[in-house]
């Protein structure tokens, strides 16, 4: 690797004063950080002139062509080299952390097989290989193994590789799958003949979902717009043919379209959704050349989703309340006049999903922020909930491909209990642990403790906080803490298990999640009270949680590091602007920080559909409100905490230039001498970073070394 000084010298055309060395903390010789040039771009809107000095960093070609803009690439490389130089003294610690975290992982491992038709399907990993291998066994788990996809073989020569979706045809001889080799989340559809091993030429580009009809030759797929990445077209294609028939095009830019097949295999569904409204079309999978029927026309703010058992559709609908109810409707006439309620709306329970089987259905719910699974027998009408051993956990149905079965497979885990796979007999109510993810190295769960506490927000609302730590906690404010949150799109933040987190807990760090408004932890109203014109509740909730943890002496402001990604990166930027004194350091992943400029540009991925989450800045009230919290627009001349920002140049969800501009502006505005590091994955990588498991672990070792250094922990 070239030294930072050489890179910065080469980049002097765009960097100012970036080549002189100076003594910094711990007397380590360091280059000055890269300072980007300013080229003012003025946007006039609502009587204001917005000046963007770093618009020049934006280049839509760069994610696809690393040579598209040498000037921008040089700046990003200079940032990488500066970050590497700053963290050079932790290389040994990073290596130790990597080896420590890797040592907890069973590198050669196998998932629990699940039955689908005449085969048992599973994936496995092999020590030293980055990716899973997809396999199956015919008739019995003791039969000979057949490899359906070896991602390691397919990934050879590629710096990024991901399988998006994987679907076997009814004849069990054809596999439809999609792959992405850039991290930009644009998947290409292929068909593999499992008898011969031959993989077809590409069926279609930019495929977001697909489903087989029951004739084993017709496949339905959705395709996204090449510019906005909005899935807007549904096609029908017969394998071996050249025709790709456009069945449906979603014209409304607020909506996307998705296709799937019911577990009963009787129907192909085409679902158009915005973030507040949905509309379902259906077609018998045995009649793929027939037309889709509309179940119920869209109506503003009405969401409904459909599954199938026998003569009835099962419809999850929010027509009587935000948290949804469950109704049935005859397939012969599913109009609302024929709807029959079987689960009423409940203000304190969010009905997140319904899984339908031949003899029962499973409710996927959330009450008081905790998931719960409810089973209802169709013959007897008796319902019950699956009991779980801990008060706070995460559980959800897993691969349940079989329609006619009394077995339910579900996942269970908590802060302390590793990922566990259970089979549950819905008739006898017996549960069988099929596998608990091994944590090598002598993990002892009794050495750790988790709690749930509550902070009071600025408007009096009670906000849950989940924490985990190694036992023998003394509440004197001396313990370091990592506080994490998301708080957008109605997505709950679950208390999962992560063996890598032990590298923090074992060094005395408390880990906490703030379940703030804007997420879905406490139902739909929790989401609604943290979006649009009340989005700031998300930020003030987080600050209230941090203040509470400091007040209760779990930690102190000089021992508190915060982290979040994507919309959680927006959170990081907003709260850092609002209360920079409250945090020792911030780790921000692929942060959505340039809210106004992004939401004004309807050509960018996700923009239009997200007007219903953030607002449309072309409307002045929404513009004024968004401008008041947009992190990029609210950077001020003041002291900021130590900050690490990460992104990928191929990220399609938050384009790389948002965090790049944010860092560049922050460098010129902040008045402190605290480090500001920016790590950019220039090799193919996406919204979630690298695709290979070892590569991801190395990135995590870097981040953990950065976090632990803030607590003066170096071994």
Q: State the DSSP string of 602-640.
A: TTSTTTGGGHHHH--TTSHHHHHHHHTT-GGGG--SS--
The CA-atom distances, in angstroms, between 213 and each of 239, 242, 263, 288 are 11, 17, 12, 6
DSSP 346: B
Is 613 in contact with 670 (CB distance < 8 Å)? no
Using CA atoms, how far apart are residues 459 and 484, in angstroms rounded to an integer?
22
In DSSP terms, 21 is beta-bridged to: 31
Q: Is 376 a catalytic residue?
A: no
Q: State the DSSP string of 644-666.
A: EEEEETT-SSS-THHHHHHHHHH
Q: Is 687 a catalytic residue?
A: yes
| Nearest-10 Cα torsion for 223, 225, 230, 233 | -40
DSSP 516: -
- Cα 256 to chain centroid distance, Å, stands at 18
Coil, strand or helix at 464: strand
Give the relative orientation of helices 536-551 and 567-578 as an angle to the nearest 10 degrees.
Answer: 60
Using CA atoms, how far apart are residues 363 and 375, in angstroms rounded to an integer?
6
Phi first, then psi: what are they for 624, rounded to 5°?
A: -60, -40
The CA-atom distances, in angstroms, between 297 and each of 105, 225, 345 are 49, 24, 22
Is 165 in contact with 177 (CB distance < 8 Å)? yes
Closest Cα partner for 220 from 299, 309, 284? 284
Q: Which of 237, 360, 651, 691 is catalytic?
A: 651
Q: Which of 414, 588, 687, 691 is catalytic?
A: 687
Do strands 293-294 and 278-284 pair parallel, antiparallel, or not at all (unpaired)? antiparallel
SS3 for 664-698, per residue? HHHHHHCCCCCCEEEEEECCCCECCECCCHHHHHH
Is 151 in contact with 161 (CB distance < 8 Å)? yes
> Residue 585: in which H helix or E strand, if any?
strand 585-589
Q: Is 345 a catalytic residue?
A: no
In DSSP terms, 282 is beta-bridged to: 269, 293
Using CA atoms, how far apart are residues 619 and 625, in angstroms rounded to an integer?
10
Is 431 in contact with 424 (CB distance < 8 Å)? yes
Extract the tokens encoding 19.
């080549």
Is 344 in contact with 325 (CB distance < 8 Å)? yes
Q: Which of 566, 648, 652, 691 is catalytic?
A: 566
Buried b (16+ CB within 10 A) or exposed e, 223-251: bbbeebbbbbbbbbbbbeeeeeeebbebe
Active site residues: 566, 651, 687
């Amino acid at each position: 690797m070239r030294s930072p000084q050489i890179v910065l010298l080469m980049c002097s055309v765009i960097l100012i004063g970036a080549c002189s060395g100076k003594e910094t903390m711990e007397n380590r010789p360091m280059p000055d950080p890269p300072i980007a040039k300013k080229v003012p771009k003025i946007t006039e809107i609502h009587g204001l002139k917005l000046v963007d000095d770093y618009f020049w960093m934006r280049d839509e070609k760069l994610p696809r062509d690393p040579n598209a803009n040498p000037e921008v690439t040089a700046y990003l490389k200079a940032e990488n080299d500066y970050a590497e130089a700053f963290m050079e003294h932790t290389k040994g610690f990073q290596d130790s952390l990597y080896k420590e975290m890797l040592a907890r992982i069973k590198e050669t491992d196998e998932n629990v097989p699940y039955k689908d038709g005449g085969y048992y399907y599973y994936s496995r990993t092999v020590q030293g290989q980055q990716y899973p291998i997809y396999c199956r066994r015919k008739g019995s788990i003791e039969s000979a193994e057949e490899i359906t996809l070896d991602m390691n073989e397919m990934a050879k020569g590629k710096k990024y590789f991901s399988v998006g979706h994987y679907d076997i045809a009814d004849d069990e001889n054809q596999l439809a799958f999609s792959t992405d080799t850039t991290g930009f989340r644009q998947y290409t559809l292929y068909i593999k003949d499992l008898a011969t091993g031959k993989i077809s030429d590409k069926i279609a580009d930019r495929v977001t979902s697909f489903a087989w009809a029951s004739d084993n030759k017709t496949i339905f797929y959705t395709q996204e717009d090449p510019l906005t990445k909005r899935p807007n077209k549904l096609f029908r294609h017969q394998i071996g043919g050249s025709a790709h028939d456009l069945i449906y095009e979603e014209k409304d830019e607020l909506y996307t379209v998705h296709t799937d097949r019911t577990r009963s295999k009787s129907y192909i569904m085409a679902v158009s959704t915005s973030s507040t409204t949905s509309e379902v079309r259906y077609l018998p999978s045995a009649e793929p050349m027939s037309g889709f029927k509309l179940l119920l026309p869209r109506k503003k703010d009405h969401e409904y989703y459909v599954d199938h058992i026998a003569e009835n559709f099962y419809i999850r609908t929010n027509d009587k309340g935000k948290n949804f109810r469950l109704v049935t409707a005859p397939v012969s006439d599913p109009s609302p006049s024929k709807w029959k309620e079987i689960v009423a709306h409940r203000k304190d329970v969010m009905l997140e999903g319904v899984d339908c089987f031949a003899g029962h259905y499973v409710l996927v719910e959330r009450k008081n922020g905790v998931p719960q699974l409810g089973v209802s027998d169709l013959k007897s009408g008796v319902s019950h909930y699956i009991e779980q051993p801990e008060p706070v956990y995460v559980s959800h149905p897993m691969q349940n491909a079989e329609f006619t079965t009394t077995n339910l497979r579900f996942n269970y885990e908590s802060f302390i209990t590793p990922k566990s796979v259970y089979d549950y007999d819905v008739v006898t109510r017996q549960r069988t642990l099929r596998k608990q993810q091994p944590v090598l190295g002598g993990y002892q769960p009794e050495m750790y403790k988790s709690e749930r506490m509550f902070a009071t927000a600025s408007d009096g609302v009670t906000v849950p906080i989940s924490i985990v730590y190694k036992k023998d906690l003394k509440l004197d404010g001396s313990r370091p803490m990592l506080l994490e949150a998301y708080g957008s799109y109605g997505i709950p933040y679950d208390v999962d298990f992560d063996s890598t987190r032990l590298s923090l807990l074992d060094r005395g760090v408390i880990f906490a999640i703030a379940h703030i408004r804007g997420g879905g932890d406490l139902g739909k109203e929790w989401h609604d009270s943290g979006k649009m014109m009340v989005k700031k509740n998300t930020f003030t909730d987080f600050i209230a949680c941090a203040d509470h943890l400091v007040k209760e002496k779990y930690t102190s402001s000089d021992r508190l590091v915060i982290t979040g990604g994507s919309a959680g990166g927006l959170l990081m930027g907003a709260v850092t602007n609002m209360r920079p004194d409250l945090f020792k350091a911030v780790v921000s992943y692929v942060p959505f920080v340039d809210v106004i400029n992004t939401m004004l540009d309807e050509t960018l991925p996700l923009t239009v559909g997200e007007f219903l989450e953030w607002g449309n800045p072309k409307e002045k009230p929404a513009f004024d409100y968004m401008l008041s919290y947009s992190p990029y627009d609210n950077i001020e001349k003041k002291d900021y905490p130590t900050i690490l920002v990460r992104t990928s140049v191929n990220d399609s969800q938050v384009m790389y230039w948002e965090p790049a501009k944010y860092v560049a502006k922050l460098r010129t505005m902040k008045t402190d001498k605290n480090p500001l590091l920016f790590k950019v994955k220039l090799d193919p990588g996406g919204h979630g970073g690298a695709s290979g498991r070892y590569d991801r672990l190395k990135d995590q070792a870097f981040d953990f070394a950065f976090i632990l250094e803030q607590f003066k922990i170096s071994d």
